[in-house]
């Protein structure tokens, strides 16, 4: 909390400190964020090991564990920040998209705490929060904030979208998945390969074990959807399954690292190619990578190289802030609160919430 004390002594504009709650899927997160950038606490209770046995998230199990975890996580966040309620100026919670039961847990807690403490409350769009993870200060030195206009590639288990951002709160959808999202495809193919859940890290690890002194014997297709910025990964998943089935029918041994690498390369190729073309066409100087798949090292490397060739910078959060966390909720909430926006206690969960795209508004 030293930064807060320094500001008070120096007479700077009073900091705005947001207590944020994230519970859109199976994670339970609480964070204390100052001015949309500075992380005083960020605690996440993961259920990955619980859902791994099922090969995916079981909604009823997720919300039940979140009910049990929320209070301990909240207490841990205050302890980590070395602060109490007197340090909180507003409360934020995710209200969509996500699993209905999970959203209800965090949203109800956020509204209840705001009412009990007499604090402003704001509901946060989970997709927008993934983008705003790029505003968090995660290094030893202050980082320059992203500079508008921007292009964001939002890739997660449920979303694969290319978004042009003219300024805070102004979004234009350029392209999106027409079927499976990239993260969903990773999970499904990981199950086909017997690699477990979550699929993204498992496939990345398997692909890293491939012998790169020889060419990959497997080739998988890309769905380019020419004339659009859209993505499609369902056919890639089907092609992977068909290739595996044919190999097994012939009694061939399947080289899992080669197959994982071929699949990962196909996903990365499609995402990177369209992102770079859109960035060049729109004339942005920086691209933001957001969502759980933003943690993929192959995607980061490909985008960094291809964008760099055009003089375009790539920004992405550390791995811990790519996956679901409350710090990103607090970052996004700050900019809404500074604009004077608030939500009432009648705000309900919206499992299918989208970004407020300009095309949808107009």
**Residue stretches of the chain with pLDDT short of 50:** 1-11, 360-362
Would you state the pLDDT for residue 358?
A: 80
Given a contact cutoff of 8 angstroms between Cβ atoms, the answer to whether 125 and 353 are in contact is yes
What is the DSSP code string of 182-238? HHHHHHHHHHHTT--SSHHHHHHHHHHTS-TTS--S--------TTSS-B--HHHHH
| CA nearest neighbour of 124 among 29, 206, 202, 241 | 29
Would you state the pLDDT for residue 4?
A: 46
CA atoms within 13 Å, Cβ hemisphere of 127: 26
42-51 pLDDT tens trace = 999 987 777 7
Would you state the pLDDT for residue 13?
A: 65
Decide the pairing of beta strands 286-290 and 90-96: unpaired
Q: For residue 147, give Cα distances in angstroms to 134, 143, 286, 308.
A: 11, 12, 7, 17
**Does the predicted TM-score (pTM) go above 0.85?**
yes
- Residue ranges and CATH numbers for the domains of the chain are 2-138+322-356 (3.30.420.40), 150-316 (3.30.420.40)
């Amino acid at each position: 909390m030293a930064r807060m004390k320094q500001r008070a002594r120096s007479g700077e504009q009073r900091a705005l400190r947001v207590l944020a709650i994230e519970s859109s899927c199976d994670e339970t997160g609480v964070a204390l964020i100052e001015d949309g950038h500075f992380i005083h606490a960020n605690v996440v209770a993961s259920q990955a090991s619980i859902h791994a046995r099922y090969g995916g998230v079981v909604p009823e199990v997720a919300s039940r564990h979140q009910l049990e975890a929320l209070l301990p996580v909240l207490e841990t966040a205050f302890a980590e920040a070395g602060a109490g309620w007197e340090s909180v100026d507003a409360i934020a919670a995710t209200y969509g998209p996500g699993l209905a039961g999970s959203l209800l847990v965090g949203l109800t807690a956020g509204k209840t705490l705001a009412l009990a403490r007499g604090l402003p409350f704001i509901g946060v769009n989970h997709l927008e929060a993934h983008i705003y993870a790029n505003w968090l200060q995660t290094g030893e030195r202050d980082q320059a904030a992203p500079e508008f206009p921007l292009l964001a590639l939002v890739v997660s288990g449920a979303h694969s979208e290319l978004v042009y951002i003219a300024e805070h709160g102004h979004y234009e959808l350029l392209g999106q998945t027409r079927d499976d999202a990239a993260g969903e495809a990773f999970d499904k193919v990981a199950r086909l390969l017997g690699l477990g859940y979550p699929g993204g890290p498992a496939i990345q690890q398997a692909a890293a074990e491939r012998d790169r002194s020889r060419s990959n014997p497997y080739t998988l297709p890309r769905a380019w959807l020419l004339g659009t910025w859209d993505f499609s990964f369902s056919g890639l998943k089907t092609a992977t399954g068909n290739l595996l089935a044919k190999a097994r029918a012939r009694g061939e041994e399947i080289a899992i690292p080669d197959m994982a690498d071929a699949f990962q390369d196909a996903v990365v190729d499609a995402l990177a190619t369209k992102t770079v073309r859109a960035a060049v066409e729109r004339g942005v100087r920086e691209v933001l990578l957001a969502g759980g798949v933003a943690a993929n090292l192959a995607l980061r490397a490909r985008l960094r190289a291809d964008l760099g060739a055009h003089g375009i910078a790539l920004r992405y959060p550390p791995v811990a802030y790519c996956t679901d966390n409350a710090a990103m909720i607090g970052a996004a909430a700050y900019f809404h609160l500074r604009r004077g926006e608030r939500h009432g206690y009648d705000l309900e969960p919206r499992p299918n919430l989208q970004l407020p795209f300009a095309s949808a508004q107009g």
